[in-house]
Structure 1
Amino acid sequence: MDTETMDNHQYAWLSEALPRGPQRILDAGCGRGELAAALMRRGHQVTAIDISQEAVEAARAAGVLAVRADIVKYPDSADDGSAPVSYYDGGSLFDVVVMSLALHHMHPLEAALDRVLSLLVPGGLLVVDEFAWDWADPAAATWFYDAGSLLAAAGVADFTREPSGPGRHPVERWREAHVDHAPADDMLAALAERFEVVTMRREPYLSRYIGGKLTNGSTDLLNELWRIERDRIAAGSLPHTGFRMTARKM
């Protein structure tokens, strides 16, 4: 396999995680539809939902069959009359549910996962790519805010810098910023209660987080952030702040 970069790491992983052949996939929390569009290009039948109307409109502009809906009530919560009945007929018809950086935003967490379980065929696969903010330590928070501030000062990132002078410790700022996000430990426990875990691995995430704030679209800059974070994790000076899991409906 080619060298893993910020550009290809998610798709490389998904190519390993997804079953062979075209799948009926629900992208729950699709955002702007980049992942759903990539899965469609690979021959999958993809339905995408998101609670944000702005995200749904962006996904549709990218050619994705997207519906504004809350996963907890889907498909009943689809509010524009365009629930994808050709892909979903009220039964458990999805072979795969993909949740990419979405589960930590979903409340209540348990109800969202219960609904996902009901939307999968027997033996269906749940694929989760997640942010583990509660695994960050002082070194991770400091690295994140220092790197973000430098990039903002260089004019290449939309990143809020702390005022000069004595201020909060980066850990305090980090916790305040993510207090409404579900902790990874809670997500993992809720997943294990409902599904048979097939694979689980910890992953870098800080560079992906900062990369989403870059304004110049520099691939080289993204890949350098990615390389630095991975090297620091390998050296033991930064923790993993993400995880990837595949789990099967029992």
Structure 2
Amino acid sequence: MNSWITSVLPAAPARVLDAGCGAGTLAAQLIAGGYDVTAIDLDPSAALAAGVPAVRADLAGFEAAPFEAIVMRMSLHHMEPMEMALNAAARLLAPGGSLVVDDFAWERADPAAATWFYDAGAVIGGRDLVADPANEWEREHGDLATGEEMLAAISARFDVKTLRRVPFLHRYLKCEGERAERLRTIEELRHPLIGLRVLAVSRGTDGT
């Protein structure tokens, strides 16, 4: 389980919304940890296949009783319009509830970081070598919300309590164990920290 997320969540059995649950991995772990989890996604098929009782829903129009926490793990950068999604999050959180965002600021990756990422992917995952890593990184990520856009939109609606910039690219390479730790250390020492972890608190039922 993501130790940072669990460290900032209220204690189980808190009512938690996993917004953009993807394959349902986090939701399953939170359920196993005793949380009362509602998992939603525009396409919940992967989560349902994994046994997670996910719901097909768009956060912007989702209706439910208030949650003590809303978690967005690698989902906010995909949400359009992002402002409407965060307005809904503000509405769905109980007063003083927590918004937990684990995402990445793709725009902070410089050409050296992009080169390291794609070269590592070729070695670890057998991917083809990329001739122009910086342009490929921009092509793959340029349509996503930037970290600064996410932070501005969150700050306009919530009180940001903590903001951490952490290594991220090693997670993107999807390796585990000692190799993942070595890659994390290299990334932390040599490249911009593009991982973005935000804990914010609801200002009220309407985010004001």
Please confirm whether the aligned pair reaches a TM-score higher than 0.5, indicating the same fold. yes
1:193 aligned partner, one-letter code: A
Question: CA separation in 1, counterparts of 2:141 and 2:166?
Answer: 18
RMSD across aligned C-alpha pairs, in angstroms? 1.7
Aligned equivalent of 2:102, options 129, 136, 139: 129
Aligned counterpart, 2:143: 180
Aligned equivalent of 1:143, options 93, 105, 116: 116
Aligned counterpart, 1:5: none
Percent identity between matched residues is 47
Is the contact between residue 46 and residue 65 of structure 1 (CA under 8 Å) also seen in structure 2?
no
Aligned counterpart, 1:198: 161
Aligned counterpart, 1:171: 134
User: In the alignment, does 2:53 pair up with 1:65?
Assistant: yes
Is the contact between residue 26 and residue 47 of structure 1 (CA under 8 Å) also seen in structure 2?
yes
Is the contact between residue 24 and residue 96 of structure 1 (CA under 8 Å) also seen in structure 2?
yes
The number of equivalent residue pairs is 203
Shift in Å at residue 70 of structure 1? 1.3
Shift in Å at residue 94 of structure 1? 0.8
2:143 aligned partner, one-letter code: D
Question: CA separation in 1, counterparts of 2:194 and 2:27?
Answer: 24
2:177 aligned partner, one-letter code: T
Shift in Å at residue 160 of structure 1? 4.2
- Length-normalised TM-score, structure 2: 0.91
Shift in Å at residue 97 of structure 1? 0.4
Aligned counterpart, 1:239: 192
1:202 aligned partner, one-letter code: R
2:197 aligned partner, one-letter code: R
Question: CA separation in 2, counterparts of 1:175 and 1:202?
Answer: 20
Question: CA separation in 2, counterparts of 1:185 and 1:27?
Answer: 22
Question: CA separation in 1, counterparts of 2:99 and 2:14?
Answer: 12
Is the contact between residue 36 and residue 46 of structure 1 (CA under 8 Å) also seen in structure 2?
yes
Moved over 6 A (4+): none
Aligned counterpart, 1:32: 23
Q: Which runs of 5+ in 2 are unaligned?
A: 204-208
Question: CA separation in 2, counterparts of 1:113 and 1:102?
Answer: 12
Is the contact between residue 14 and residue 36 of structure 2 (CA under 8 Å) also seen in structure 1?
yes
Is the contact between residue 130 and residue 243 of structure 1 (CA under 8 Å) also seen in structure 2?
yes
Q: Which runs of 5+ in 1 are unaligned?
A: 1-7, 76-87, 152-156
Question: CA separation in 2, counterparts of 1:205 and 1:20?
Answer: 26
Please state whether the residue corresponding to 1:72 is helix, strand or coil. Answer: helix
Question: CA separation in 2, counterparts of 1:141 and 1:21?
Answer: 39
Is the contact between residue 10 and residue 68 of structure 2 (CA under 8 Å) also seen in structure 1?
no
Shift in Å at residue 161 of structure 1? 3.0
Is the contact between residue 94 and residue 124 of structure 1 (CA under 8 Å) also seen in structure 2?
yes
2:67 aligned partner, one-letter code: F
Please state whether the residue corresponding to 2:95 is helix, strand or coil. Answer: strand
Question: CA separation in 2, counterparts of 1:102 and 1:178?
Answer: 13
